[in-house]
Structure 1
């Protein structure tokens, strides 16, 4: 199949014009200019499928649009391109930035493969994980929260630390050449809003979540807790109401309700927004673990691919069960009883 540099420029540029001279410089056989590492994932995705050029303009397929065969081809191409781009091995970025050197190997053992999936962003554009801050009354109880203290720890003031650590590590592993940052909701600059956004935590402590939920007109709404002791609930457009389950004897959490949403970023339609939130922190952690837990992520990714085959936007409201030791049981989306509400509805 004939592919032109114009088509590559269209696909890799997305909504931003990419010049033919730039593509030519990368593909020159005489004096080639090495392309940025972040472009290699895009090249691999482009050449993994003929469908990249079957429409005009040419475009990159999203992760969920790729077939299983195309994903295998994409991953193999990406590995080959990385080895050519960084032949010295072990392969590292020349400019590691603030996070230090980043290994570029994507795959693990056959049954523990970490590449691809919902958390892989083919364009390798910046990914910003946005988390809320603990309210002042909670920060005052935490040790090392005074900036004048020599042992000051900034992270102690962040909400949903379990979920934050889990998702940050996984996203970094799956997107080794992308800029992945953690920001408090009050730290985002005007340019940050146009990146891929991953929002951790509910509407109570993450105002960015509240704003984006309003802009997206989601089919699921999280109702803010009127007081710390009140459980709050999720409601749906159909009028259903889902609350966490607390032990009547001691008030401990037995089962939380959590929400996972992926769709277009309302601030930049060429980027995505992902919501992972629960009524309590362990619900948020469960929403994250659904697609990071090595025991369940492949099953849950398979469910997403089959159930939401024709859309890049989807929403799953789920149960997150807590075991007797207080630990989170990762939701299994293959089990109907774990899923409370899905959107789009089957057949839409």
Structure 2
């Protein structure tokens, strides 16, 4: 069995650049047609450090490049299989067989998330876990964040200290044989190679935590966070989901008279794109109470077992999953989301095969 194959990456790049001599097809255009980020598609074409696309994406490549009709019209698009002619089906079948042969069987199966009660935050012994939290922007800090001050407290520089404390204590308790560390996304001190390739847990969203955006750009999840630039633009921000048919839907937090009454949380867990023997987990909200809600969904002793049991049933066999949920806010307190209630689950990925 083989590691990710540079030959597959080269073939995918050739398909994009040379399939039609009179068509200039950029990575951005193809990524939009596939409903993925440009960074993720670029990683599939990276011969030096290839990332192997999952089977459904190879099928998308085969479908797209089986017919010139994919690039005709005002917008690139992926045709449904029912729309292909007999000749196009033949081309697709041959191309898919070629891509699958180049992909091969991957060596050393990736770190499969184990879905059993109380297990998601349990990691194999002696494997490092790094929690990465956003650094609070300087304009929001107080004197206690100045290292020159006698009252300096390092934790005040963290953007989501409540979520960090909750999660750090829980992971430490679950993994006594592991080294568990936490740090901010300080631009002056980047993560080390060892930290990037450990089990990564990312707290907070794309506004202040650039690692969240960078990692989500490299995984095949149809969710992107639209940055929150200000409360006045709140209706245009949230988590945007791309459906299998190409349509999009935006899930936003709710405010009333400037007060938050319901946040939205995104929880993602899957194989790390930086080390396929480790995992990456994202706990994110549009506001801090959403981030804390994403964390407490699997740490709150009153909810974690039922929520984990739901994950065990819903995502059994998946090597990655994503769930967007409501986080109720009552009397200014963010409450733990109950994932067993359908009304709390706004979006789940992979999509259910049952309506």
Contact in 1 for aligned 2:111/2:277 (Cα 8 Å): no
Give the drift of 1:117.
1.4
Gaps in structure 2 of 5+ consecutive residues: 1-105
Asked if 1:236 is matched to 2:241, the reply is yes
Identify the match of residue 203 of structure 1 among 202, 206, 212: 206
Question: Does the 8 A contact of 1:63 with 1:121 survive in 2?
Answer: no
Q: Superposed, which structure 2 residues align to 1:46-85 within 5 Å?
A: 62=112, 64=114
Query: Please, which of 302, 308, 314 is the counterpart of residue 315 of structure 2?
Result: 308
Moved over 3 A (4+): 56-63
- Partner-residue secondary structure (3-state), 1:210: helix
Alignment correspondent of 1:155:
155
Gap regions ≥5 residues in structure 1 = 1-55, 69-115
Q: Which digits, 9 at most, give the CA deviation of each residue in 1:273-321, with x for residues without a partner?
A: 0000000000000000000000000000000000001112100000000
Q: Do residues 270 (structure 1) and 252 (structure 2) align?
A: no
1:63 touches 1:122 (CA, 8 Å); kept in 2? no
After superposition, residues 248-267 of structure 1 pair within 5 angstroms as 250-267=257-274
2:25 corresponding residue in structure 1? none
1:299 aligns with 2:306: yes
**For 2:294 and 2:216, how far apart are their aligned partners in 1?**
17
Residue 230 of structure 2: which of 227, 230, 253 is its match? Answer: 227
- Partner SS, residue 64 of structure 1: coil
Q: Deviations over 1:26-47 (max 9, x none)?
A: xxxxxxxxxxxxxxxxxxxxxx
Question: Given the superposition, is the C-alpha separation of residues 146 and 263 from structure 1 closer, same or farther in structure 2, using an over 3 Å criterion?
Answer: same
Report the 3-state secondary structure (helix = DSSP H, G, I; strand = E; otherwise coil) of the residue aligned with 1:342: strand
Specify which of 124, 128, 131 is matched with residue 130 of structure 2: 128
Contact 1:260–1:275 under 8 Å retained in 2: yes
Distance change >3 Å, CA 117–CA 227, structure 1 → 2? same
CA contact under 8 A between 1:126 and 1:180: conserved in structure 2?
A: yes
The residue aligned with 1:279 is 286
Equivalent residue number for residue 344 of structure 1: 350
- 1:229 Cα deviation after fit: 4.9
Partner SS state of residue 216, structure 1: coil
Output the CA distance in 2 between the equivalents of 1:258 and 1:61.
24
Name the SS for the 2:217 alignment partner. Answer: helix
Does the CA-based 8 Å contact 1:244-1:279 persist in structure 2? yes
Counterpart pick for 1:245 among 239, 244, 254? 254
Indicate yes or no: 2:181 matched with 1:172: no
CA contact (8 A) 2:202 2:281 kept: yes
Change (3 A) 1:237 1:119: same
Shift of 1:210: 1.0
C-alpha distance in 2 between matches for 1:63 and 1:236? 23
State TM-score, norm by structure 2. Answer: 0.64
Residue 135 (structure 1) shift: 1.0
- 3-state DSSP of counterpart to 2:114: helix
